[in-house]
Structure 1
Amino acid sequence: MRWTFKPKPQADKVEALQKALQIDTVLAALLVQRGIENYEEAKKFFRPSLDDLHDPFLMKDMDSAVNRIEQAIANNEQILVYGDYDVDGTTSVALMSSYLKTKHPLVYTYIPDRYDEGYGVSYKGIDFASDNDFSLIIALDCGVKAIEKVAYAKTLGVDFVICDHHRPGDEIPDAIAVLDPKREDCDYPYKELCGCGVGFKLIQALASREGKTAHDLTAYLDLVATAVGADIVPIDGENRVLAYFGLRVINANPRPGIEAILNQVDKSELTITDVVFIVAPRINAAGRMKHGSYAVTLLTEQDSEMAEKYAAEINDYNLDRRDADKRITEEALQQIKDDKEEHRSTTVVYREDWHKGVIGIVASRLTETYYRPTLVFTKSENKLAASARSVKGFDVYNALEACKAYIEQFGGHKYAAGLTLKEENFEAFKQAFEEEVAKTIDPRLLVPEINIDAQIDLNNITPKFYRILKQFAPYGPSNMTPVFMSNDLKDTGYGKCVGADKTHLRITVKQSKSSQNFVCIGFNMGDKLDLILHEKPFKAVYSIDENEWQGNVSLQLKLRDIQD
């Protein structure tokens, strides 16, 4: 692991903020690192407010979108709410359809089949709309690149309103409205909304025509927070506000579908991390293993008993997903070894019978193992389909763009993308992708990095310090969990490997300059036991959290790495 300290913030800014807030200097430095330099900015950070959300009409085409939807309602038109099959897509469809149904009875939903139609707007979906007299499709979390498909819909008399957050191509679809803050001609102040976030801005705009504000829409924020966490968008600006209030809804009064998921796990207060690892995988499992419409059905169900039934079904899909994910990961790792490809700059693996629904998860697992840009391919009808994942700091979308001569279709983000290509182009693409990455990647990016916020002594860690630190949440990109480093640590003599297979490390540390001892837990760090035995001094990188045991709550250090 590479240990990298974040740049030290300017001392005068830290001192000014420390005095203004009357907090520990370390905490003031953490805030300045996050771009918070005065009392007002700190107040917005620690006390998010729905009043800080931007006017939705600042988004390009918002007027046109609202006018067309209002026209559809006034004319009693059928509206089809269309979205992708992942968490962001299904939560977006649940959000938009459940809101519109409070205004209009003729609102229906459509999720494309992952295997039959693939990602995004499909011709099959448009034909379905046309055949069933839908005159308006609201597409969420997709559509910004669907130039030909939107044009085709127009010939059938079907209008499109698009809510997307992906990077547009050179051309924007000829839709009634294309809401996407990443449009170059869009002056919306916040660019990092997820698809469900853009959908929320649209319902915020619709509600404002009735004199309502975001405060009247809080019941929908459990969906938005789930999408913010699952889509790994920055948790700053508007996303922080939406995630903060969405978590409140999840913990206090979630919709029956989310409550039914939470009833399957023993967790009292959910963090955004819990949403990512507990709620999101279950919602995702529907689209991966069966069909995304099952997730929408669960998320829009208002009867608790029915929601419990749907959640049980989706939990079964999630168990199937786990089994498939484990098996395919093992097969992919074996393939890399057999092909002697451990020393490449990329990982590209393919097997025609791998389950298309889990190749994205497998790509993430392989990236964790070999830490390099990764593509996992499977057969999808007469083409090959792949999920791409990248390492921190490397734009895999740009690398794919450089290889587009071999690709049929691709889309996505800096760190995650999807693509299809013809089988006969696979080997040429694999070679081109390896050459492009090898040529453009900084070799240091192929070594996992731990970003350290600050070096501190154990004496810094007090209950008051942690109380304020806890308020930095919700965490995520642009506001990651603070990570600290301490030197001159020694085990008190009780360090040992724990867990069923003894893979985790549990130690109690002391520091000569500190009067406090702390219990530390290092998951999957059992192989580092030798570094701390016999009171050998070492240094550690860690985050701080709480451990609850038999009703007692105490602070503990969650180890990220240790070195002698």
Structure 2
Amino acid sequence: MKKTALGRNLNILESNLNKSSQIASLLSISPILGDILAKTDGVDVSNAEDFLNPKLKNLMPNPSKLMGMDLGVTHLCKAIIDKKTIGILGDYDVDGVSSSSMLKIFLILIGILPKIIIPNRFKDGYGPSIPLMHKMHMEKVDTIVTLDCGTVAFEPLEYAKALGMNVVVVDHHISQIDRPEAIAIINPNQLGDDSKMGYLCAAGVTFLLCVALNAKLREMGFYEGKKEPNLLNLVPFAMLGSVCDMMKMIGLNRAFYHTGIAVLQKNLQNYDSLLQEEKIAFCGLRQLILAGGKQEISSSYDIGFIIGPMINAGGRIDSAMIGVDLLTNTDETDAARLAAELKTLNQERREIQEEIIESAKKMADLELASGKNVLFLKSDKWHEGVIGIVASKIKDLYQKPTIIGSISKNSGVMIIKASCRSIDGVDIGKSVICALENGLILKGGGHAGAAGFSAKLDDFERLFDFFEQHLHQDVVSAKDGAKIDIHCQISLEQIDDKIRDISRLEPFGIGNPKPLFLIKNAVIGDYSVLKELHFRLNLRTRHKNDDKYLWKSAILFNANATLLGDFVKKHQGKEVDIIANIEYGSYGLSIVVVDFAN
């Protein structure tokens, strides 16, 4: 198999002309988009319409398919009707904040004001804890709903039960064989759940919970003489969680994205005419979008790289409650203040993050020189609020499962709080759960691509050996089988507005990667260096047409002093086959180079 400049196996996906032409004809799309859809996992003639134009009404499942949903809904509806105090305890990332904001808004709209706690990353740690359960008890909470956490919170949930409180867990993280004490555990990734909705994030599961609660309350006559909440206004929160938690962009998640974008755009355009009770779902988002320098959200990039990081910055640097207070606000002035605060925190986060990345890269180089398959890097100088982002960056740079740990003292004991990110084919979440079951870590959890845990510093060497041995074979297999899938072969002449409809494949992500094009027989004319880091390439056709070459501009990010940057320098003026994403946005056409096939 042909190798790329980065040493990956070049895999040109085989076309099915009959299937692609049927899809193109059925949906009235370009032949190239039809060909890409025909090569997309799980897409065929029967469901291509739902993939390209996903509608909530077509893809919305019966929430009761989720294990534990009916039990949780029955209990919560009784608590609502009996006017019991309901508490919300969410995670401090975008998924947790979105889930918590969504459920809080739903409850407020039906006349219930919940007590809400988002653990402080630095004081409380991740998820439910005994002190937080005690705090809920002191607030006279009857039922606690944990969001994006709780699946493995055995001791805190047992403590809550001993205090006479009820707990409903809403989560999506990997479970263990044992189950914590709870009225219901609603988690598509728990053992025994056969809903096939394991690709949902917590915000997606929370939306299904709101739908089920609404239907049950209607059935019980709760809305007689009352106005039902408009559940469509909650979809943008499910969209936020799905994109920012990097879930598979398939099925219901695609409907969340497309519906969420449409709902946001419609309500932001007509914001001044919204009723006061409708503004609660849009006031904070509107101010956050404005703080991000945008007028509206129009792409997954806007969500994942502009809005999401600002929400995350609260939990990473200060308190995630800033995000919940913002997203559930109805006061324009207060919302603008909170949005500005998150913007400032996000800038601070960037500065801290860049310092740690430079330090981590030096450590990683030393580890790789010793032949390690897993990067486990730690320091007592690293801010624990950004180690997840650093782990992601280091993983991308070195293509190794990466664990980044921040060391601090807790009750006289030195503790590592770690974030893990993994490569395709290596399930880091299962390894963390296995480490927990073997008593190697104090607490932890996650999923295939991302996880987190805390452990005693004294156990570092033993833990490092565990991950190295547990993941060794998977890492070797992933490296040997590393390939890059080419969705379409194309020439420079074919890159024009006739294929603009490929942007309809949004949102991109796991399960729906950006299509990769093999641009054949292009010549690298010259290049310029941007910000001492990126390369702007001028590409031309091999042959002239009407005595003129056709020229196209392309960008190669983070190229300087890299293998790809060196390749460009050696092949200037030469004919090459380019592997690239082709993107169409508000700024026009972009060719983003990711590798070379020569």
Normalising by structure 2, report the TM-score: 0.87
**Paired residue for 1:543, among 571, 581, 598?**
581
Give me the whole-angstrom Cα distance separating, in 2, the residues matched to 1:451 and 1:87: 30
Contact 1:20 1:38 in 2 (8 A): no
Correspondence for 1:296:
324
Match of 2:397 among 363, 369, 372: 369
Which position in structure 2 is the counterpart of 1:220? 234
Distance 1:335 1:477 in 2: 29
Distance in 1 separating the partners of 2:229 and 2:46: 22
Residue 19 of structure 1 and its aligned partner are, at CA, apart by 4.5
Aligned to 1:451: 485
> Over residues 491-544 of structure 1, what are the superposed CA-to-partner deviations in whole Å (9 max), with x where a residue is unaligned?
4x4x2213232632231332449885432222223524324423x101101111
Secondary structure of the residue aligned to 1:407 is coil
In structure 2, the residue matched to 1:487 is 520
* 1:397 correspondence with 2:429: yes
Match in the other structure for 1:530: 569
Q: Secondary structure at the match of 2:424?
A: coil
- Once residues 267 and 509 of structure 1 are traced to their aligned partners in structure 2, the CA distance between those partners, rounded to angstroms, is 34
Is 1:478 the counterpart of 2:511? The answer is yes
Question: Pairwise mapping of residues 11-26 of structure 1 onto structure 2 (< 5 A)?
Answer: 11-21=17-27, 23-26=29-32
8 Å Cα contact 1:112-1:120 kept in structure 2: yes
Q: How many Å apart are 1:341 and its aligned residue?
A: 4.3
Return the alpha-carbon distance in structure 1 between the equivalents of residues 367 and 47 of structure 2. Answer: 53
Q: Secondary structure at the match of 2:381?
A: coil
* 1:217 CA drift (Å): 1.3
Indicate the SS of the match to 2:35: helix
CA deviations over 1:403-459 (Å, ceiling 9, x no partner): 454222220011111111112111122233223333442255389754321222334
1:505, 1:529 within 8 Å by CA — same for their partners in 2?
A: no
**2:183 aligned residue:** 176
* Alignment partners' CA distance in 2, 1:440 and 1:546: 36
Query: Is the 2:283–2:329 Cα contact (8 Å) retained in structure 1?
Result: yes
* Distance in 2 between residues matched to 1:437 and 1:367, nearest whole Å: 14
Letter in 1 for 2:395: T
Which gives a bigger RCO, structure 1 or 2 (Cα 8 Å, sep 6+)?
2
1:244 is matched with 258
2:303 is aligned, of 272, 275, 282, to 275
| Aligned position for 1:501 | 532
Evaluate the alpha carbon distance shift between residue 472 and residue 358 of structure 1 in structure 2; reply closer, same or farther with a 3 A threshold: same
Please point out which of 30, 53, 56 is paired with 2:36. Answer: 30
SS at structure 2 position matched to 1:490: strand
When normalised by structure 1's length, the TM-score is 0.92
Q: Distance in 1 between matches of 2:84 and 2:484?
A: 54
Counterparts of 1:365 and 1:503 in 2: how far apart (Å)?
17
1:325 aligns with 2:356: no
Cα displacement string for residues 255-283 of structure 1 (whole angstroms, at most 9, x for unaligned residues): 12222122123345531122111111111
**Tell me, what secondary structure is at the counterpart of 2:372?**
coil
How far is 1:154 from its partner?
A: 1.1
Query: Does the Cα contact within 8 Å between 2:426 and 2:478 map onto a contact in 1?
Result: no
Question: Greater shift after overlay, 303-312 or 343-352?
Answer: 343-352
Deviation at 1:116, TM superposition (A): 2.0
The 8 Å contact of residues 89 and 141 in structure 1, kept in 2 or not, is answered as yes
Paired residue secondary structure (1:226): helix
The whole-number CA distance in structure 1 between the counterparts of 2:34 and 2:228 is 31
Q: Secondary structure at the match of 2:346?
A: helix
**Which amino acid counterpart does residue 475 of structure 1 have in structure 2?**
F
Distance 1:17 1:239, change over 3 A: same
Q: What's the CA shift for 1:563?
A: 4.6
Partners of 2:211 and 2:231 within 8 A in 1: yes
What is residue 49 of structure 1 aligned with on the other side? 55
CA distances 1:18-61 after superposition (whole Å, capped 9, x unpaired)? 45445444322211222465554122122221212112122222
* Correspondence 1:557 to 2:597: no
**Structure 2 counterpart of 1:137:** 144
Q: Is the 8 A contact 2:544 2:550 kept in 1?
A: no
User: 236-245 or 210-219: which moved more?
Assistant: 210-219
Between Structure 1 and Structure 2, how many residues are aligned? 556
* 3-state SS of 2:291 partner: coil
Unaligned runs of 5+ in 2: 1-5, 269-281
8 Å CA contact 1:204–1:217 kept in 2: the answer is: yes
Q: Is the 8 A contact 1:3 1:452 kept in 2?
A: no
Relative to structure 1, the CA distance from residue 426 to residue 285 in structure 2 (aligned partners, 3 Å threshold; closer, same or farther) is same
Do the aligned partners of 2:43 and 2:51 also contact (CA within 8 Å) in 1?
no
- Contact kept, 8 Å, 2:353 with 2:386, in 1: the verdict is yes
Residues 379, 168 of structure 1: alpha-carbon distance in 2 compared, 3 angstrom cutoff: same
For 1:442, the equivalent position in structure 2 comes to 476
Q: Does 1:360 align with 2:388?
A: yes
Contact 2:292 2:343 in 1 (8 A): no
Residue 521 of structure 2 aligns with an amino acid whose one-letter code is D
Could you tell me which residue of structure 2 aligns to residue 199 of structure 1? Answer: 206
Q: Secondary structure at the match of 2:344?
A: helix
How far apart are the structure 2 equivalents of 1:340 and 1:481? 30
Contact 2:430–2:447 (CA<8 Å) still a contact in 1? no
**Conserved in 1, the CA contact under 8 Å of 2:249 and 2:511?**
yes
CA contact under 8 A between 1:542 and 1:559: conserved in structure 2? yes
From the superposition, tell whether residues 339 and 237 of structure 1 become closer, same or farther in structure 2 (CA, over 3 Å): closer
Amino acid of the residue matched to residue 43 of structure 1?
E
Hey, what does 2:283 align to over in structure 1?
Answer: 256
Structure 2 vs 1, CA of residues 557 and 332 (structure 1 numbering), >3 Å: closer, same or farther?
closer
Query: What is the CA–CA distance in structure 2 between the aligned matches of 1:214 and 1:489, rounded to whole Å?
Result: 59
Give unpaired runs (5+ residues) of structure 1.
none
- Per the alignment, residue 82 of structure 1 pairs with 89
Worse overlay, 139-148 or 444-453: 444-453
Q: Over aligned residue pairs, what C-alpha RMSD do you find?
A: 2.6
Instruction: Write the letter of the residue equivalent to 1:285.
Output: A
Instruction: Report the residue type matching 2:34 in the other structure.
Output: A
* Residue identity (%): 27
Query: Alpha-carbon deviations, 1:228-248, whole Å to 9, x = none?
Result: 111010011111101111122
Question: For residues 533 and 338 of structure 1, do their structure 2 counterparts lie closer, same or farther at Cα, with a shift above 3 Å needed?
Answer: closer
